[in-house]
């Protein structure tokens, strides 16, 4: 208790000193004239860093005084998602979270259908403008990779991207994203595999599609597509999950603010990259099937 009070006081002193230092440094920076032709001087950053470190230490110790320190257990990573009993059925939490994401996306779609779609104008603005930008860019990106195969393919890709974004948003609430479960990523890859063969048969016919398999290696590479897509997405998403869990475990009670900053990459930016990669690979494989 005494040690925490002392460290809290140290954090308060450091934060106050950093704030005073920052105020003085900014005043001197604003008063100093910039030489003609020279690049403008950068604002001093070190005082801000010192102030934030002091605030971080103060907040950590205040939280420890208020709630105590939880004993640190062993670090474990489960490959498979937890299971829960629902109505006498044992369901994976991946299924439960997938239902939650589906319900949320359905609700958003219904709201947009009732509020935005009936009021669409020639000159888009607001939500209509955002929707048109997303749809137009996805359709343009799809056509640039595989040509015009109809409107169903961009709709599927938009649904996949929306689901992966929903998984990333759900992960921000501290739960395991469905896309970090191999069963989910394999299901998504299997749907893509079906679409690859569907468009291949639609464009080239049965005979044209079968000619590809005169070379047995093409058959092996095609059968490897769903495995490759599933494992790539699963490995990347599970890796992000492990990194965040490791960070929380290593920092213990000091895991205040820092994981949130790191999570901007692993829980927001990283899933968006994986969504883009999955969409791009889907279009690449479909493009190869219709060539």
What pLDDT sits at residue 6?
83
pLDDT in tens, 200-240: 888 888 888 888 888 888 888 888 999 999 999 888 888 87
pLDDT in tens, 126-148: 888 888 888 889 889 998 888 88
What pLDDT sits at residue 73?
64
What pLDDT sits at residue 75?
64
Q: In sequence order, what DSSP letters do the residues of 164-190 get, joined into one string?
A: HHHHHHHHTTTS--GGGSHHHHHHHHH
Q: Please, what are the averages of pLDDT over each run of 10 residues along the chain (291 residues)?
A: 81 88 83 64 82 85 74 70 80 89 92 85 80 88 86 89 88 83 92 91 85 83 90 86 77 70 73 88 89 79
Separation of alpha carbons 80 and 66, rounded Å: 35
What pLDDT sits at residue 189?
93
Quote the percentage of the chain above a pLDDT of 70: 90
- 290 near 149, Cβ under 8 Å? yes
């Amino acid at each position: 208790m005494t040690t925490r009070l002392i460290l809290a006081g140290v954090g308060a002193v450091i934060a106050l000193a950093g704030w005073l230092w920052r105020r003085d440094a900014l005043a001197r920076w604003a008063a100093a004239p910039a030489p003609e032709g020279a690049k403008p001087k950068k604002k001093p950053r070190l005082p801000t860093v010192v102030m934030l470190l002091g605030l971080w230490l103060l907040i950590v110790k205040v939280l420890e005084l208020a709630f105590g320190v939880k004993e640190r257990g062993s670090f474990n990573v489960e490959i498979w998602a937890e299971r829960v009993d629902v109505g006498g059925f044992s369901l994976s939490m991946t299924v439960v979270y997938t239902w939650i994401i589906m319900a949320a996306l359905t609700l958003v779609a219904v709201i947009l259908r009732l509020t935005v779609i009936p009021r669409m104008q020639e000159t888009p603005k607001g939500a209509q403008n955002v929707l048109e930008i997303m749809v137009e860019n996805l359709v343009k990106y799809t056509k640039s990779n595989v040509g015009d195969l109809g409107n169903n393919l961009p709709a599927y890709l938009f649904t996949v991207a929306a689901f992966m974004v929903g998984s990333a948003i759900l992960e921000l609430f501290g739960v395991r994203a469905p896309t970090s479960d191999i069963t989910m990523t394999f299901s998504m890859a299997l749907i893509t595999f079906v679409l690859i063969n569907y468009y291949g048969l639609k464009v080239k016919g049965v005979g044209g599609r079968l000619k590809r398999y005169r070379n047995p290696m093409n058959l092996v590479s095609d059968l490897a597509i769903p495995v490759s897509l599933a494992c790539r997405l699963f490995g990347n998403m599970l890796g992000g999950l492990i990194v965040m869990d490791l960070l929380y475990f290593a920092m213990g009670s000091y895991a205040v603010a820092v994981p949130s900053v790191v999570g901007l990459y692993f829980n927001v930016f990283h899933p968006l990259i994986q969504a883009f990669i999955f969409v791009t690979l889907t279009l690449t494989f479909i493009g190869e099937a219709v060539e």
